[in-house]
Structure 1
């Protein structure tokens, strides 16, 4: 079970009110939702503390990205402790216990991203938990500015297409985290990271290949099938699940970007590598909770987040994947049944 404890009073988290068209004041706490992302501002004038105990279900879990605006924020996870200051960020995982706290001078943003979705974009995301590597200053500046701008623009009213905006935000978060400087690390874990990155690049550039298989993917990097499987086991998924997740994600982005329906659902299904349109529609609907043909009607028919009010995450080892939950659209919840690799 996950337990969330906050020293900040619940009265302070007033959220948004219908009559407040200008949005909350500079020191007022608030929460809002952009598609499947949760965005929260913690204002100064009160101490804040949060303890999160890990859970064992990835479809309910999320990654928490913290951006200090003023003051400092202390964090602890995976035996690592530190302090984040303005101009920096720290990534925490609900899949493991973490602590987060600040004094009365701190003001910071917290972006909650479905775990499955961020994992679908950044294979080595767990390597970046609790700031193991030095962030890229330019990318961090761009990301912090984007998150802050989104918060200021849409805190009082939703964007015209929240799901599409959330997709772009998650992609930029992954890009920023992936640009972190890993320093002079030359250990096996670092080598596996670069190998996984090459494999993901190969998969993304061959999604339209209907014959794409674990055997072909392993051959592209000249590794054995068993070693390929072990690389994906690091993130509690399989090669087949990952490929299907990427295909569904690509299809979703194509459909959202084509509101006038210039391409049919069948064309999109074949373009991303599905052999059967009916199978594609079933998978798409199960993951995004919306039929492919209805995605163009966003935001009315945009994928809805899971009913759960919280978004806890599983431990690193045994996790099941889900859409937007965590991903807003559960990109990684490929199937509730065990998946077996096939060559």
Structure 2
């Protein structure tokens, strides 16, 4: 994420107009009016992902309008899909009025007028409407309607957007495009599931979403030492052969992916100062390594250092210990 606006960088009298200019460039042109305050406070950061863009933002209370005049002057012809991170939001568009709570998802578009009351923050993903594979007549049914972000595909999408907003990783242009594709796949799958039109999802997008569903399932069950390929496949109504083939398409085996995730969770706990007094064997068992010797051997093979030495280096020197692959 790159911060493109921070009200602290402007005199109080100029902050709102500077915000309007920044969000016009980052999202779409709209007009703003403060509610209950004379001083605007807020920030916005963006991450371009090919034709897709993710923006994270926070703001004090305001009314915003996108009028027919603004649309005629500039219309990027985008769909925007957001998750509310905090505060109350109310939006009217397409003859619908939605009161959105934190955690709710919402779809709206740039080509129709809308009015919003907002106070808090959100994460927004926007993309050209022409890229979206579902028919406009179906999408129009869901514009400006609160959608659940805490269950099923909505939870996957919320987790994806939240991770991007909090991530400090620098991605290559190729990685960014791939992330944009993943985000678009998740939006497609979420809306198709709500409309019960999963059959309209392109087959390649279905496969990518299935992979994300499965890896998310595995991450939630890493501590289960009895987790097997059969259990994973059964939970997703596919054969074990199909499961292995899916992971092979991503250049890994099921077993190696599970093992790498378990080792990474252990490494994070070893580096966490709040867990520095937790026994190493307890950390290992927590993430699916019931036998301490097996964990030590696997950790050392991956990082070139024992778990205890890694923990000592991190906490005694205040740095992430150097690792080897």
TM-score (norm 2): 0.44
Q: Which structure's relative contact order is higher, taking Cα pairs within 8 Å and 6+ residues apart?
A: 1
| Greater percentage in strand | 2
Q: Which has the larger radius of gyration?
A: 2
